[in-house]
Amino acid sequence: MSNQPSMIRSLIAQDNPFNTTDELLQWIRRRNEEIKVAIEPADLKSMDQWYMDGDGCLRHRSGKFFSIEGVHVETDFGPRQAWDQPLINQAEIGYIGIIAKEMDGVMYFLMQSKVEPGNVNHVQISPTLQATYSNCTRVHNGKQPNYLEYFLNVRPDHIILDQLQSEQGSRFIRKRNRNIIIRVDDDIEVKEDFRWMTLAQLKSLIRHDNLINMDTRTALSGIRYANYMDNNTDWEAFSPLGRDLILSANAPHGLHSLDNLLFLLTRLKVKYTLKITPKPVNKLEEWNIYDDRIARADNQYFQIIGRKVSISNREVLSWYQPLLQPLEKGICAFIIKKIKGIVHFLVQAKVECGNFDTVEFAPTVQCSAENTNDPYRQPLFLDYIENADSKQVIYDTLQSEEGGRFYREQNRNMIVVASDDFETEDIPDNFTWMTLYQINELLRYNNIFNIQARSLLAALPYAEQ
């Protein structure tokens, strides 16, 4: 096993000379106690540094960070053809950066315990660097983010991945972040809020509710394991399920060719139309501006709220900001199935109003778990997921969305192994089957897999017994 590539060894290495997984759990628990967090309601119109313009949009006085704006949406995807809604407009590209370092033949990742105002449990495990462009250029006069210089000065041959990936298409207008993982060779100081972790530990911790934050999940999902597999790869080190998954990550040829998966995406981008027109927030149909929130009268979907935030260890100790609060419980799930001996994922092509290019690939199920009596909202395969036998469910965890924008949002993330009689051929036009290799290959390119899919993929492959 000594020649095993360090990235693959990291997938297997539950042991870590720096800290055990239990110690990491204790560390997060302790940080939760130590860091003082106060989140108080604030009127939307009286948040320091923010103002509501004549259209009802919420904007930062610097013109930076993000704004809450309104849109009218028209599309022929799905049963609802037109609606109004607010969206978060965040034009600037943020850093989601992780530093990796090979030590004793194992790749370690430098992770941070970080508080975000919307986090359900305050402290979560976050990337080494998680900062908007405004943070990096110190628009808010805070400290320069830790470890930023490593990313600014990285040599091209030390980049493990560097991708622009989308965030929630139903909440952001074309938002993207830079997902970047870099390797350092030199010794590097491990600062107070940071710890080295293996992939095996991260993929174990991700099975705890709301512990690995969204930004970590999206960055981890982009690692292309096929790059690291070779004759030295020790398949026996994986559990039978782990082996099935890592072999899928090494399987370029699946039920469909990569070409045909790309042609499907083209076909659906031509088939579906999506038209977004800016519309003042105070004119959005079904939506109202109240003192403390922007919300629908029927309290469906989500609302925009104001909060005053005080966090003891952040660059800026106290600030005001709007947050998006979901009013429904979400569920995101992949159905997977062994087809011709290789694990395939049932992938949905989905149009969301803020998508960069109309269609992105999404999990098999991505919806609200409520309101299933609404004829407009009866997603395919939800029944199958919810009625699956517990032996079929190989992953079932509550995962938080980004606490810098979303208030206490947690979605149920599931991976369900389909039974043998699950239909393989006769699936809807906008669904297809892919191997994990094919998914990883498409993930090299921007805006092909959405954040909900990437959040699930971050848990894979895993080698636990």
The tokens describing 148, both together, are 């930023």
Q: Least Å distance between CB 216 and a second copy?
A: 19
Q: Least Å distance between CB 263 and a second copy?
A: 4
* Sequence-ordered list of residues with C-beta below 8 angstroms from that of 101, at least 6 positions apart, any chain: 107, 108, 110, 183, 184, 185, 188, 196
- 213 vs 447 by CB, closer to a second copy: 447
- 238 vs 437 by CB, closer to a second copy: 437
Q: Least Å distance between CB 137 and a second copy?
A: 13
Check residue 145 and report its DSSP letter: P
Q: Least Å distance between CB 82 and a second copy?
A: 17
E strands, 258-341, are 274-278, 287-289, 293-296, 302-311, 318-326, 330-339
The tokens describing 326, both together, are 């979901």
Amino acid at 450: N
The DSSP element (H or E) to which 441 belongs, if any, is helix 436-442
* Number of residues that make up the chain: 465
- 156 vs 240 by CB, closer to a second copy: 156
The tokens describing 246, both together, are 């890592």
Q: Least Å distance between CB 91 and a second copy?
A: 9
Could you tell me which of 263, 221, 233 has the C-alpha nearest to residue 451?
221
C-alpha 294/C-alpha 273 separation (Å) is 28
Q: Least Å distance between CB 308 and a second copy?
A: 32
Q: Is 204 helix (H, G, I), strand (E, B) or coil?
A: helix
Amino acid at 160: I
Q: Least Å distance between CB 198 and a second copy?
A: 22
Q: Least Å distance between CB 10 and a second copy?
A: 18
- 277 vs 299 by CB, closer to a second copy: 277
C-alpha 28/C-alpha 56 separation (Å) is 39
Distance of CA 163 to the CA centre of its chain: 14
- 59 vs 412 by CB, closer to a second copy: 59
- 222 vs 330 by CB, closer to a second copy: 222
Decide the pairing of beta strands 94-103 and 176-183: parallel
- Count how many Cα atoms sit within 13 Å of the Cα of residue 273 in the half-sphere of its side chain: 7
Q: Least Å distance between CB 447 and a second copy?
A: 8
Q: Which residues bind to a second copy, rule: CB under 8 A?
A: 93, 156-157, 159, 161-164, 178, 180, 227, 259-260, 262-264, 266-267, 269-270, 356-357, 444-446
Number of H helices, E strands in the chain: 11, 24
Indicate left, alpha or beta for 245 from its phi (over 0: left) and psi (-120 to 50: alpha). alpha
Could you tell me which of 281, 221, 224 has the C-alpha nearest to residue 56?
281
- 140 vs 267 by CB, closer to a second copy: 267
* Sequence-ordered list of residues with C-beta below 8 angstroms from that of 364, at least 6 positions apart, any chain: 333, 334, 335, 345, 346, 347, 348, 381, 385, 431
* Sequence-ordered list of residues with C-beta below 8 angstroms from that of 359, at least 6 positions apart, any chain: 265, 268, 269, 272, 349, 350, 351
Tell me if 261 sits within 8 A of 449, measured CB to CB: no
- 259 vs 298 by CB, closer to a second copy: 259
- 448 vs 451 by CB, closer to a second copy: 448
Q: Least Å distance between CB 260 and a second copy?
A: 6
